[in-house]
């Protein structure tokens, strides 16, 4: 999809909410420190996986699947950490609940937007299947129908999805929420907020990558700066720099689409459309058959990749929803009130 070059979004800097405090009692006890270290070490490893050996894999459906699987794992780690901290709901600060619940509803919204667009892209499968059926019939009188089907696919893929347009304001809200509330007189609360900060940074960034790829707009791609005192900060910075440079290179080429498998199908469709327009004579017959075979292979890879990614996003949606529901359920059991900020937002 050809597009004008868009300006980069500015770097977002955040004050360090975890400055070391020298006051007595500010240090974590060994158990809490171990829990936090385990979470942040796991976070670093999950982030590191997002830098592939071949940069050409970035924005492939398999890479996007890996990124979303990493997010699901990170949010499962948060859920497990909450259990390990054994922090009674009666000791939860309302601001902590606001942070968790408000973020979760935004993630559910953006997951729905991603699912909507991937489902729309997958619907083009039927148009390609119809076109391939006519092309593989080896009947020239059916080629015009095949050509029409291929053109319909291009129009379908090139159309805009209003749901994807909702990603930008959601991302802006997630960025604003990265300034976490200060925690006083609760070592467990400090561990939870610091872990949630890491999860939120990773989630916000990866969601921005998805939003950029699926919208075809680089304005959705974020550049985040985190405190360098955090043990995972350098890994995150390296991942972000590597991925963003590659994605912006893809955007600068003005391709029809930014998703690798989708671009491969588009290249095959263009080649076949040219052959059909010029006419398939005896001398072009072998080249024509090879092009049809290439389209069949790339289309199958695209369809399978979209199906797999949709399943992973659905799993992420369920992880976020279950975590949110569990917190609300525990809050009600403890006799607490649901924070005003989330009343009316329950999914």
pLDDT tens-digit series, residues 11-29: 444 445 455 443 333 468 8
Q: What are the residues facing 145 on neighbouring strands? A: none
Flag residues of the chain having pLDDT under 70: 1-27, 180-181, 256, 334-347
Whether 132 and 164 have beta carbons less than 8 Å apart is answered as no
Q: Counting Cβ atoms within 10 Å, is residue 203 exposed (0-12), middle (13-18) or buried (19+)?
A: buried
Q: Cβ contacts of residue 339 below 8 Å, gap of 6+?
A: 94, 97, 98, 101
Q: Residue 340's pLDDT is what?
A: 53
Predicted confidence (pLDDT) per residue in 169-208, tens digit: 999 989 988 876 677 778 888 898 899 999 999 999 999 9
Q: Counting Cβ atoms within 10 Å, is residue 335 exposed (0-12), middle (13-18) or buried (19+)?
A: exposed
Whether 25 and 185 have beta carbons less than 8 Å apart is answered as no
Joined together, the tokens standing for residue 320 give 């976020």
Q: What are the phi and psi torsion angles at 11 (to 5°)?
A: -70, 140
Q: Cβ contacts of residue 53 below 8 Å, gap of 6+?
A: none
Q: Give CA–CA dist 327/101, Å, rounded.
A: 8
What single-letter DSSP state applies at residue 19?
Answer: -
The model's pTM: 0.87
Task: Report CA-CA distances (Å) from 161 to 17, 121, 165.
Answer: 37, 10, 7
Q: Cβ contacts of residue 145 below 8 Å, gap of 6+?
A: 130, 131, 134
Three-class DSSP category at 54: coil
Q: What are the residues facing 225 on neighbouring strands? A: 13
Distance, C-alpha 320 to centroid of its chain: 14
Q: Cβ contacts of residue 205 below 8 Å, gap of 6+?
A: 222, 224, 236, 240
Four-point Cα dihedral 89, 191, 13, 168, nearest 10: -40
Joined together, the tokens standing for residue 234 give 């350098």
Return the beta strands (E) in 114-214 as ranges: none
Q: What are the residues facing 223 on neighbouring strands? A: 11
């Amino acid at each position: 999809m050809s597009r004008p070059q868009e300006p980069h979004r500015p770097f977002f800097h955040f004050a360090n909410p975890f400055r070391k405090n020298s006051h007595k009692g500010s240090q974590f006890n060994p158990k809490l420190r171990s829990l936090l270290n385990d979470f942040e070490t796991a976070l670093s490893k999950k982030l590191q996986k997002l830098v592939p050996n071949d940069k050409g894999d970035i924005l492939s459906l398999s890479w996007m699947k890996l990124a979303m699987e990493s997010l699901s794992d990170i949010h499962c780690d948060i859920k497990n950490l909450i259990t390990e901290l054994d922090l009674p709901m009666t000791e939860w600060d309302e601001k902590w609940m606001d942070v968790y619940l408000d973020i979760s509803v935004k993630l559910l919204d953006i997951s729905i937007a991603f699912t909507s667009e991937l489902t729309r892209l997958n619907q083009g499968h039927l148009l390609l299947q119809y076109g391939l059926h006519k092309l593989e019939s080896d009947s020239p009188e059916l080629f015009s129908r095949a050509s029409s089907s291929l053109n319909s696919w291009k129009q379908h893929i090139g159309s805009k999805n209003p749901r994807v347009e909702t990603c930008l304001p959601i991302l802006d809200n997630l960025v604003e929420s990265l300034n976490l509330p200060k925690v006083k007189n609760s070592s467990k609360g400090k561990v939870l907020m610091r872990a949630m900060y890491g999860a939120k940074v990773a989630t916000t960034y990866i969601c921005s990558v998805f939003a950029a790829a699926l919208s075809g707009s680089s304005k959705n791609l974020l550049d985040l700066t985190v405190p360098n005192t955090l043990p995972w900060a350098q890994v995150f910075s390296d991942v972000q720099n590597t991925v963003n440079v590659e994605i912006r290179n893809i955007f600068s080429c003005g391709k029809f689409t930014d998703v690798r498998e989708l671009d491969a199908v588009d290249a095959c469709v263009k080649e076949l459309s040219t052959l059909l327009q010029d006419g398939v004579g005896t001398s072009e017959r072998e080249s024509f058959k090879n092009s049809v075979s290439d389209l069949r292979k790339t289309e199958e890879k695209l369809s399978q990749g979209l199906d797999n990614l949709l399943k992973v996003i659905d799993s992420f949606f369920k992880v976020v929803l279950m975590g949110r529901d569990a917190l609300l359920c525990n809050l009600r059991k403890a006799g607490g009130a649901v924070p005003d900020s989330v009343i009316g937002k329950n999914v």
